[in-house]
Amino acid sequence: MSTVEITQNLPLGVTLPIYMDNHATSPMDPRVLEAMLPYFTTKFGNAASRNHSFGWDAEQAVETAREQIASLIGATPKEIIFTSGATESNNLAIKGIAEMYRERGNHIITQVTEHKAVLDTCKRLEKYGYRVTYLPVKADGLIDIEDLKRAIDDKTILVSIMAANNEIGVIQPIAEIGKLCHEKGVIFHTDGVQAVGKIPIDVQAMNIDVMSITAHKLYGPKGVGALYVRRRNPRVQIAAQIDGGGHERGMRSGTLNVPGIVGLGQACAIAQAEMPAEAARLQSMRDSLRAKLEAALDYVEVNGSWEHRLPGNLNMSFVYVEGESLLMGINDVAVSSGSACTSATLEPSYVLKALGLGDDVAHSSIRFGLGRFNTQAECDYVADKIIGIVKHLRELSPLYEMVKEGIDLSKIEWAAH
């Protein structure tokens, strides 16, 4: 069947391909682009040029963005440091705190389902003599607060726990973690990349000391991010990881990406205005997608807590179906599978394995990341498409047939070749 024929048979309001991978990156909101454009052309000044109007215009734009970001998360503008994105923000936070507070202790606590930008940064610090505790998660993807309490000792200087997980969308009890850290005199950093702009985040109410943010996950441009660094109660200090002209109060040198920063600011302003309505709409679409899949298919499971979850996230396992085959069957829909997320090898997701899922279940998982520009018509089309493909693939699966006949696969002794 040709592309033209496919297009003719599409339901109203659906055009292919459909993008449902908004946790990987989100399309830029046209309003964000519009705000950025002048700073590529007529207002091209360097924000650090203090001698003329070109520099002043750029500096003013940067300060406005600082206010917009601070307003969204309940911070003050002076607590916002600009970076190139989430990976740099996480590196600056964790390495910068580790270096600054080395005299006080060398113990860091994180969790096994963090993003690689946190896990690999912690692994690097272990080479320099830091001790890192990697907390396990429960079957629902949440950490156990009691585990965290037990892990904190007199040498603990930093706890880094993400606000919301990029694969399973699970939201950690951030306010509770922050309160515990403050009681123990430990700095609390959170990777807020998936949460900021999607759910309410208030750094004061949640006792967050340092938080990483990136623009491209909230309909802004790629290559720009921010780090919130608390200035009082307690005042947090961070050792710079990039040296130079002393930009960003000495914490991050380098000429500022003014157009990107303007875009991040505008994205935050839009999120602040529209978040409640957008979250309700996404949650409704996600719930209908889940209901439709569960009504038509057996052996499907939601991965991670359903109650504590981002409104646009649905991570499901379609057991007895290989995730990669499923992806090939729905190649006009952009989603991601529970394997090969971070490399070219077909490894099952370490996040799903941490929940206690077997390799077969992890491999059969699909992450749907719904976003601002998805529609109900797209969700219905995707549900129908997946139901058709899963049924077809299971017809070809001897394992599914055996399970339907009541055979316990775990009891079978497979003969070696």
Domain boundaries, the chain: 3-27+275-411, 30-271
Separation of alpha carbons 47 and 237, rounded Å: 24
Contact 377, 14 (CB under 8 A): yes
Supply the DSSP symbol for 311: T
pLDDT of residue 398: 85
**pLDDT tens digits for range 231-283:** 999 999 999 999 999 999 999 999 999 999 999 999 999 999 999 999 999 99
Three-state secondary-structure class, residue 187: strand
DSSP one-letter string for 41-68? TTT---TT--SSHHHHHHHHHHHHHHHH
Neighbours of 56 (CB within 10 A): 14
**pLDDT tens digits for range 52-70:** 999 999 999 999 999 999 9
Helix and strand counts by DSSP (H, E) for the chain: 13, 13
> What is the sign, positive or negative, of the torsion defined by CA atoms of 130, 136, 142, 144?
negative
What does the H/E/C string look like for 189-233? EEECCCCECCECCCCCCCCCCEEEEECCCCCCCCCCEEEEECCCC
pLDDT of residue 124: 98
pLDDT of residue 344: 55
Q: Please give the structure tokens belonging to residue 172.
A: 């950690």
Q: Mark residue 206 as left, alpha or beta (left: phi above 0; alpha: psi -120 to 50; beta: remaining).
A: alpha
pLDDT of residue 1: 44
Provide φ and ψ at 281, rounded to 5°.
-65, -45
Let me know if 122 is a catalytic residue.
no
Residue indicated by tokens 């916002």? 80
What global pTM score does this model have?
Answer: 0.95
Separation of alpha carbons 380 and 229, rounded Å: 42
Which residues of the chain fall below pLDDT 70? 1-8, 339-345, 414-417
Contacts of 120 (CB under 8 A, 6+ apart): none
pLDDT of residue 137: 98
Buried-state track 104-125, b at ≥16 Cβ within 10 A, e below 16: ebbbbbbbebbbebbbebbeeb
Separation of alpha carbons 2 and 352, rounded Å: 37
Catalytic residue among 122, 181, 341, 379: 341
Residue count (the chain) = 417
At the top level of CATH, the class of 30-271 is alpha beta
Topology, domain 3-27+275-411: Aspartate Aminotransferase, domain 1 (3.90.1150)
Separation of alpha carbons 220 and 216, rounded Å: 5
Query: Interior CA angle at 391 toward 387 and 394, to 5°?
Result: 140
